[in-house]
Amino acid sequence: MTRKTKGIFFSLFWPNAIAGLAFIILLSTITLIFLVNRYESTIFDSLESKARIVQARYAKLLKSESVWELRQDVLQAGTRSQTRITVIGTDGNVISDSQADPGQMENHKTRPEFESAMSGQTGKDIRSSYTLGKDMAYLAVPLLINGKIIGVLRFSQSLYSMESLILVVFVFFIACYLIFFLALFLISRTTSLKITGTLMQISGKIKEMAEEGGKSKLYIDAPAEFEMLSGAVNTAVETIQTMVNSANAGTAQQEAILSSMMEGVLAIDSSERIIRIYKNAAVLLGVDEKQAGKSIHEAIRNSSLIKIVRKTLVSDSPVEEDFVLSGADGEKYIMATGTTIKDRNSKVLGAVIVLSDVTKLRMFERMRKEFVANVSHELRTPVTSIKGSVETLLDGAIDYPNDARKFLGIIAGQAERLGSIINDLMSLSRIEQEEEKGLIQMEPHNLKTIALNALEDVQMKAKERLIQIDLVCERDITATANDRLLEQAIVNLIDNAINYSDPGSKVIVELSQSDGETMISVRDNGIGISKEHIPRLFERFYRVDRGRSRKQGGTGLGLAIVKHIVNAHGGHMTVESVPGAGSTFTMHIPERPGH
């Protein structure tokens, strides 16, 4: 009796005690992390606010080399603000400090907050002070004159109150756990005594039932939970044999269904009635999941699928066929794989049909075929022209200087076009491979500088076409990107705008940034694009006006390259156009590429 009570007690007490301890530790840890982060955040916000107030004045004092006046101001400001203020030169030497002799202080060139400030950012760090020997929060900002860093201003404050905060939280949670531990002990002890008494009564009754061969029933005077247990014991004997028989009959069917579930799964019995339609299949077929018992003809009105089901039921081998589903979203290409469900005697019980949406696969196959056809066509045209010119020269035109010069010009132009196509294809391939392997390097860059480099690349072509290019950028914008690829994308968009603009018109490149996104827009007032062409503009070799594109020297790959570059940055493209009024192509680049 005592041993059983002890076992139940510990099974109730210790798991809950350990769980309670784990919860208290987790809660205290989360609370401490939150409070410490909040405390540090408040400290840094306060230090930065104070630093910004005197930043400009100290920069002027340091520029004017008024060291004595600077040190007096630092001492007074440090006393007023109850913070430690340090002015550091660009070489790391301390010029002034509100709490220590600058001459006795170490060089600060390797301090993290100094390095950040020298890079033009706000530096933050928490560590033990080498000079004061206690934990401090440091915040440093650059001292600027005409955009040039001439020194660093650092504010710091002791974190002594954080230790007190941690101690208070620790003591509070220890007290909470001790109270919880005592209450749990008393509850577990009382509960274990009650459970043990009832279990002993049930154990005696079950022994009596066993001696009587299960003829009697188990009835006990106990709480409702134990009455449920006695009811379960009474029905267990009656149902065990039934459960065994049912399990044997249903095991083969259940295993076949579960092992065949890949995508959309449809289970049919031998009478072509639905056993079950799983969720993915119901969504794919546009029907309700609750179709059990219905004939497949009633639930699914697709003659192709019904034929596949019938074929599967009479086939000894798996059946695999494609069919088309028509719906509000257009046509979907579905691959159906069917296998029969058989019992141990090889009798067909039904079939499992697995449905896979292969619409995208078919689309990719179509795009691949179109791409191969387009590449062949685009390469054949210049090759044919070159071949024809060479044959003409060999037939005697080479002896006539004017004619020879004409055909050599054709050969040179078509060779240049052939080279452009090959270069663009190689660029596309390289971008795809680098993106797939994660080799595209993303670093913070000044977007205005990238745009100016792009404008310089197309300036000569713009002058030849008498087109003015303007850059609109209200402020310097920094974006995390691959500068080489982004410059190429801007060049391609401007080149495209020039090709489709009339002489004397204007192309505007606009840079902006908002809501964590960088936008690069190229706007022209050229011929514009009809709405039906816009969805296909970024396909390879797709041209709105094939004649004009070839005349302007386009390869049909420029916009495709732009799209791949933007995708590699985790962004997307938008196009706005009005026929006869011009077009605006906009690259949307997220603040953190890939997010």
Tell me: pLDDT of 447 over 70.
yes
Cα separation, 58 vs 95, whole angstroms = 11
Domain at 569, CATH number: 3.30.565.10
According to DSSP, the residues that pair with 503 across neighbouring strands are none
Cα separation, 180 vs 10, whole angstroms = 16
Kindly state whether residue 202 falls inside one of the protein's structural domains.
no
Tell me: pLDDT of 161 over 70.
no
The pLDDT score that the predictor gives to residue 5 is 46
Among 169, 183, 189, which residue's Cα sits nearest to residue 12?
A: 189
Do 399 and 521 sit in the same domain of this protein?
no
The pLDDT score that the predictor gives to residue 184 is 72
Kindly state whether residue 173 falls inside one of the protein's structural domains.
no
Mean pLDDT of 147-176: 79
Token pair recorded at residue 277? 């339609």
Do 144 and 263 sit in the same domain of this protein?
no
Token pair recorded at residue 89? 């030169």
Q: Which of 317-321, 508-512, 520-524 has the lowest mean pLDDT?
A: 317-321
Tell me: pLDDT of 242 over 60.
no
When divided into structural domains, the chain yields a total of 4
Do 454 and 543 sit in the same domain of this protein?
yes
Do 429 and 462 sit in the same domain of this protein?
no
Mean pLDDT of 434-448: 78
The pLDDT score that the predictor gives to residue 176 is 79
Kindly state whether residue 550 falls inside one of the protein's structural domains.
yes
Q: Sign of dihedral through CA atoms 432, 435, 439, 443? A: positive
Tell me: pLDDT of 97 over 80.
yes
Kindly state whether residue 537 falls inside one of the protein's structural domains.
yes
Domain at 376, CATH number: 1.10.287.130
CB 302 within 8 A of CB 393: no
Do 480 and 388 sit in the same domain of this protein?
no
pLDDT band at 4 (very low <50, low <70, confident <90, very high): very low
Which among 163, 189, 213 is the end of a domain? 163
The pLDDT score that the predictor gives to residue 404 is 74
Query: 549-569, pLDDT tens digit by residue?
Result: 555 555 677 788 888 888 888
The pLDDT score that the predictor gives to residue 240 is 46
Among 463, 530, 460, 462, which residue's Cα sits nearest to residue 496?
A: 462
Query: 199-219, pLDDT tens digit by residue?
Result: 776 776 677 667 666 566 666
Higher pLDDT, 371 or 167: 167
Residue 232, exposed/middle/buried by CB under 10 A (0-12, 13-18, 19+)?
A: exposed
Mean pLDDT of 147-171: 79
- In the chain, the percentage of residues whose pLDDT exceeds 70 is 73
Kindly state whether residue 225 falls inside one of the protein's structural domains.
no
Tell me: pLDDT of 541 over 80.
no
Do 471 and 513 sit in the same domain of this protein?
yes
pLDDT band at 258 (very low <50, low <70, confident <90, very high): very low
Kindly state whether residue 585 falls inside one of the protein's structural domains.
yes
The pLDDT score that the predictor gives to residue 249 is 59
Higher pLDDT, 400 or 142: 142
Do 299 and 347 sit in the same domain of this protein?
yes
CB 587 within 8 A of CB 566: yes
Query: 40-81, pLDDT tens digit by residue?
Result: 788 888 888 888 888 888 888 888 877 888 889 888 888 888
Strand order across the 330-342 sheet? 274-277, 264-269, 348-357, 330-342, 319-327
Domain of residue 399 covers: 363-437
The pLDDT score that the predictor gives to residue 420 is 57
Mean pLDDT of 167-171: 74
CB 206 within 8 A of CB 233: yes
Which among 389, 414, 437 is the end of a domain? 437
What are the backbone dihedrals phi and psi of residue 439, each rounded to the nearest 5 degrees, phi first?
A: -95, -5
The pLDDT score that the predictor gives to residue 27 is 73
Q: Which of 73-87, 220-234, 385-399 has the lowest mean pLDDT?
A: 220-234
Do 11 and 142 sit in the same domain of this protein?
yes
Do 110 and 147 sit in the same domain of this protein?
yes
Query: 396-410, pLDDT tens digit by residue?
Result: 777 777 777 777 776
Which among 328, 356, 384 is the end of a domain? 356
The pLDDT score that the predictor gives to residue 494 is 92
Query: 262-292, pLDDT tens digit by residue?
Result: 577 888 888 888 888 887 777 777 787 777 8
Do 426 and 482 sit in the same domain of this protein?
no
- In the chain, the percentage of residues whose pLDDT exceeds 90 is 13
Query: 573-593, pLDDT tens digit by residue?
Result: 999 988 888 899 999 998 766
Do 499 and 433 sit in the same domain of this protein?
no
Do 344 and 447 sit in the same domain of this protein?
no
**pTM above threshold 0.85:** no
Q: Which of 123-132, 405-414, 428-437 has the lowest mean pLDDT?
A: 428-437
Kindly state whether residue 187 falls inside one of the protein's structural domains.
no
The pLDDT score that the predictor gives to residue 299 is 79
Mean pLDDT of 415-444: 67
Strand order across the 468-472 sheet? 468-472, 506-514, 517-524, 582-590, 572-578
Q: Sign of dihedral through CA atoms 221, 222, 226, 228? A: positive
pLDDT band at 150 (very low <50, low <70, confident <90, very high): very high
Kindly state whether residue 328 falls inside one of the protein's structural domains.
yes
